[in-house]
Structure 1
């Protein structure tokens, strides 16, 4: 099959990422690393698909370019969008783990020290059992090597996230315009989705989050046909997507005038977020940054209305989530040292559980002396 590659990064950038992974593999005593996460495969190779539920395996040896094993229908995505040339396929009647084992033998890698990323949601224990049976050997379990490479973003990745941030701003503005008494959460969600998509944003890792009234007081609720009523707080949280890179943002609007409790909760959220934005910088630990918000929240008496981390890493992602908190999180007593080029979404949100909720966030790039904000939407509590 002859194709013209449609790469979003130049090959030298992919090779630079691969070189970093090889260094971590050597440190871990690994000769061949089997990668299953769609984000990790995309990061290393450029291969992407919305069919992420299908088995994908990227075989990464130390002494040659990676080989990807995937379903026949997915192979065309790899021919066009990855820089790889060695693409091995399986058909739907075959067992993917057995095809992976055959591929390992085909490339004479079976005697190597082979490790699997067992932390991947896309590599269940059953698949590891099948793979070990087919190879006739035990495999090492080494997790998180690609994630170490992904923690600090390259200049091209950061540029993609800046573009995603522009889509995000457009979506937030559209959602706010869709909030009126008598309209529904779905109206606001549809306005955000339509506007971002028409502007150029791709399919979403997580649909726009719009939750209102008493439902805004329940964490992780989203649009479900509820009609906006006077006094309702409305939490808006969404991201635009550019080449799978994100820049999420959270804002709050109120239908009419906010209650005194809603206004106070929002004021504290705003203060806590401002403290983080003022204090975050390379060299600080995740725990130190978390405390910037935690002290203010605890002093205001809202710790039980919060009870979570201050922020989490974001970058490239596929459904069902835009976050990469498993790479880095701004959380209590975490000793991870922040580096220039890390990117964090910092959502400060309180819930008066089952009554009302408010929230505000920014996505920022960590710099030597502070941070660069990717969003530009007003942080005011907007009245509609």
Structure 2
């Protein structure tokens, strides 16, 4: 179904709600038994009845978003405004909640419901979830209720969510997902039955798009079974945290010159590696895993402050969950917590990717690196004595390892 058709479909539902009707977006049985609409909320006490009658969600994202007083929240596809009102209650008068919807009729309905609820800390925006009309790093939390599945460009939706979140921000959404490998015909029939006009993502596809956007700490919990491999689910993820003025995001090809400059600056200290010259970008990328590479960048200038990346330790399938990593910080950004933030994000992303062991070799003289890794759960598993010559001197290497407490248990 085209975007314009979806907007008109929901505008029609909004008009029905404005006239006092209770609306549904799928079959009556699926709506009740699948816990769609108001049935999906654990606590909707105090909300206007008109708002609950217009609820079209597939869960209760606000219940798992862990909202705190004073936070700024964005609801993608806010519909009649139920999740906006629930969020407004949780963030309190010092907080702010934005509701975004492409349907002017839905926005009219939501504003009417907000007025009836007496919610003064909310604002409704007209726009599409693939191009959010808010500046970068504006909100602390994004919620959404059974809307991402309606988009025909889900990668753009998740990229926009990452863009508008502040570092350390959280994503908590309800959506409809599909088991990996489900037969396409069965999948389409189930999607039609529960009202997924643009199709669902398989769980593995969802994880991949979240990782590509830059999210870490991804968790997808199935909450209701709609048959034929289709489920309602709660999707959680986070934008990596880092200090003021910086942002951690996936490494891009446009970062090449700065990444290699930082690499060379580290090699020039004589404490980073046996290498003395940074490789070409082609050699760098050929030796690194595509997904597990990130930069910390200045949000005002775009300057890269540091980077982290992973290399496979072996092509044998038994070592698929074992990687070796490198983390480098520009000399101008030392003592700002950049290395710690990058390594923290990397550890989380590696577990999302199914990595169970991260390895590294560090010169024993590089005390700052040893302390950083120890603080983040790495342990020394041995010392390779006089393993190689560096600038004419034989040097030892401390072998570090972090075994995931989550993956591979």
Higher strand proportion, which one? 2
Could you say which structure has the larger radius of gyration?
2
TM-score relative to the length of structure 2: 0.25
TM-score relative to the length of structure 1: 0.27
